[in-house]
Each structure stands twice: as structure tokens, then as C-alpha cells.
Structure 1
Amino acid sequence: MWNCLYLPVCRIHTTGQLLKKAPVRFKGKSGAEQRWLERQVNDPFVKAAHLQHFRCRSAFKLLEIDEKHRLLKPGLSVIDCGAAPGAWSQVAVQRVNSAGERPDLARGYVFGVDLLHIAPLQGAHFLSNCDITSPATHAELQKLLPEAYADIILSDMAPNATGVRELDHERLVSMCLSLLDLAERLLRPGGSLLCKYWDGALTHKLRDGLNRAFQDVKTVKPKASRKESAELYFLARTFRKT
């Protein structure tokens, strides 16, 4: 695995050279299933994730964002919301040095939370089968965090899709708004929050909430996000704790 602390993330864009796009057919699969599987096979980020031992392609979204905005630094404490299967936590572990692989750098902390089970990862402490919106989960995190505060909250979580775009958008905005309660309890003043959302009619509500809580809020869309996807990310920095 390459060292994500020091290798420029722009190099991942050359991974398209590793794949040759060609028609793929899968016996017994519907047309929609075949299209999805063919997209996976022809996706350079899927292949790169396998080669670099990331748990899924979403790692490259966080790598791109961090390379540009310098969010994760050695010694920081991170909460990864909706962490399963753990790809964002892998990136965070490397960037904040929570596994202590660089003894010359400050050692950070990574805590991942998900309703699903998350396989163990050196340098990360996972709370599997836990609800990030639950006060009990907040209390557990507060006990685990050094000085009871995190420097960064990450969220790539999303609800199970219903296929109704407006409903899915509304549910994800609601999940993102719940992160403001988490921030109020556990985010250090001056801290940052990165959360995924699907664009839609309630985007302004989420942006307004973030603007009230953070000094700087911007929208980012990494190249690793598929062009046809409605997903975007809000990067909110300099938390103003009330």
C-alpha cells in the first residue's frame, strides 16, 4: 500500500490506464444488474481500491478532498459516521497517524460508527451496530475521545435508497442535520465537518444550518464521485460552539 500521508492523490487519476473497457456479460443477470456489474469492472477507482487494499472505492473521494483542502493532519481526532465498510477510516488512520506508523509525527485517533458491523482496522476504534444519532453513542464517544472532543467529523453515510429521489434526498438531509447535534456535543471549537448529501429542494436547509454553526462552508465534488451521481459534499470549517 502506498503511504497516503505523502503520495499526491492526483496520481490516482492514472488508474484508468489499468483497465480496458470492454463489453462484459454475466449469465443469469438482468439487464440492470449487467449494467451495474459492467460499470464496476470498468471503473478505475474500483480496480485501484483493490490494488491499494482499500475496502471500497469511496476512499478516493476522501483522498481527493483531503489533498486539496488539507483537512486531516497527524495528531487529530476523527469521528467517521456511517463508517462501514471502513474505507474512509483507512484514509483517516493513515493521515492522522493513529496507527503510529510514523513515530516522528503526532499520533491521532480515529473512531468509526455504523449501524452495520465494521471489520477491525489497526489504528481505528469501531462502534459497530451503533446509531450515530443516539445519545448513548454520543456518551460512549465522549468517553473514548481524548479530552472528550473530536477535531473532525466525517460522514459518507446515506439511507437505504427507496428509488424515490425526493424522499431519499429528504432522508439524507435529515441525517446530515443530526450531525449538528453531534458537533455541538463532541466537536472542538474550530473543528471541521465533511458530510455527503444528495442535491435537492432541502439543500438550502442543510447549508443554512451549517452556516450558523461554522465560519466557512463550501460544496465539493471529488472526481471519484461518478458524474451521473447526485452526491455532493459540504465541507464546513471553523466550528463556532455555542
Structure 2
Amino acid sequence: MISRVQRRLFHTTAERLKKTPAEQRWLARQLSDPYVKSARQQNYRCRSAFKLLEIDEKHGILQPGFSVIDCGAAPGAWSQVAVHRVNATGSDPEAPVGFVVGVDLLHIPPLDGALFLPHSDLLQPAVQARIQESLPAGEAHVILNDMAPNASGIRELDQQRLAELCLCVLGLARMVLGPGGTLLCKFWDGVHSRLIQNRLTELFREVKTLKPRASRKESSEIYFLAKRYRKS
């Protein structure tokens, strides 16, 4: 008689045989990834939550009472972290209540304590206006940007597209980020990264380059942490 474990193993093996080599490598990486396992155990929507958790633990960018914008929010893991850290649900009656708004082109499952704008293009001025209208007093303390374009396979083109997204977020910061505010922005290390870093340095008093442990070693992904916004 076949046990439940044997049936699961047979099913997994059969599914792997149907997949392309690239899909099989991705599946194997997911199954062996400790952050994927931890995300399931701690009920985070994806492993990227641990990138923000690590950054916040070291740099304290999320505080109770803060208003936060999560750009590229789907599936909502960063918003989960932000909701808890800024007390957006009011679960701590002794702390100020914060606010979290997330935006993405994709669908975002609802999350208690967060306002989501799914199927929304941040490049559109109307979407940026909706974000500003949703914010208490029309200002944010923190902007989180984990957006990335769909990979074309052409490195230079992908970096250019990501640079355009980052510059869009910088434009949003000029609209809604309050004095002394913080921007955390994902980028891919390469020819365009210096351009983004220079733009951030013009607008913020402190800019650091970070590589969280949860970022895969083979990934060129980096994060710019820009603090103390020079509100003009």
C-alpha cells in the first residue's frame, strides 16, 4: 500500500518531469530556500518580507504612527511588515496608529490595515494623485519601492526600464514625502545604478547601498536606502 508521503513524492516527481529545465531549477531552489520555508511558517506572503525585516531591524525606518507607501506591493509581504511595524491596525493601543497604502499593476489580496490600489500603474499621474489623496495630511514618512520590470533577457534594456521606475518613484517622493522622510528603492547593480544613486544624493542627506541576506547571492539586486529627505 502506498503511503501519503510516497504519493506526495510521486506527485512531485511527476510534476517535475513535466516542467522545463529552467522551471525545474526554480522549483528546486524554492524547495531548498530557508526563507521560503520561514515565510510559510510565519504566514508572510512571500520570502521578500525578510529583506524588509532585516533592513528595518538595522536602520529603524518604520515607526508606529508612520504613513507608508508600498510601490510594487503584490503579493503584499512588505505591506504585512509595514502594517505591523507602524501599528496600522491599532493593535497596540499605547502606540500611534500608522497608515499603509500599496500599489501594483497586479492583483493584491486584501490585508487588514492596508489600503491597496491594485491594477494601477504608478507611472500614471492619476494613480499618483490617488495615492496622495489617500494619505493622512497628504504626506508620507516612508516610501518603499520593490518594483521591477518583467525581464526581457537583455540586461541593458532591463536596467534602463528599472531606472525609469526608480525615477518615477523619485517623482512621487517629491510630491508626497515629508521633510526628513525615507525612501527604500530596489535596483540592479550595473551601469545605471550610479545615476539613481546620484539623484538620491541630491534629494536626501544620507544614502546607503544595502544587500540584505535574504537577497539571493546570484542576484544583482541591491537596495538604496535614502534617509532625511531635503524637502524644498
Tell me which interval the TM-score lies in, with the shorter structure as reference length: over 0.9
Q: Which residue of 1 aligns with 2:158?
A: 168
Question: Does the residue aligned with 1:27 lie in a helix, a strand or coil?
Answer: helix
What amino acid is aligned across from residue 108 of structure 2 in structure 1? I
Alignment of 1:230 with 2:214, yes or no, is no
Give per-residue Cα distances to partners, 1:55-114, cap 9 Å, x unaligned: 100000000000001110100000000100000000000000001111111110000001
Q: Which residue of 2 aligns with 1:102?
A: 92
User: Could you tell me which of 141, 150, 175 is aligned with 1:185?
Assistant: 175
Q: Is the 8 A contact 1:138 1:186 kept in 2?
A: no
User: Could you tell me which of 12, 15, 24 is aligned with 1:34?
Assistant: 24
Larger radius of gyration: 2
What amino acid is aligned across from residue 34 of structure 1 in structure 2? Q
Q: Which residue of 2 aligns with 1:129?
A: 119
Q: Moved runs in structure 1, 4+ residues, more than 4 A?
A: none
Q: Which residue of 2 aligns with 1:144?
A: 134
Structure 2: runs of 5+ lacking an equivalent: 1-11
- Residue identity (%): 59
| TM alignment of 1:1-242, pairs within 5 A | 25=13, 26-242=16-232
State the aligned residue count. Answer: 219
Q: Which residue of 2 aligns with 1:9?
A: none
1:52, 1:64 → 2: CA distance? Answer: 15
Question: Does the residue aligned with 2:132 lie in a helix, a strand or coil?
Answer: helix
What amino acid is aligned across from residue 51 of structure 2 in structure 1? K
CA RMSD of aligned residues (A): 1.0
Q: When the two structures are superposed, what TM-score results if normalisation uses the length of structure 2?
A: 0.92
Q: When the two structures are superposed, what TM-score results if normalisation uses the length of structure 1?
A: 0.88
What amino acid is aligned across from residue 193 of structure 2 in structure 1? T
Q: Is the 8 A contact 1:74 1:106 kept in 2?
A: yes
How far did residue 141 of structure 1 move? 1.6
Q: Is the 8 A contact 1:117 1:128 kept in 2?
A: yes
What amino acid is aligned across from residue 218 of structure 1 in structure 2? K
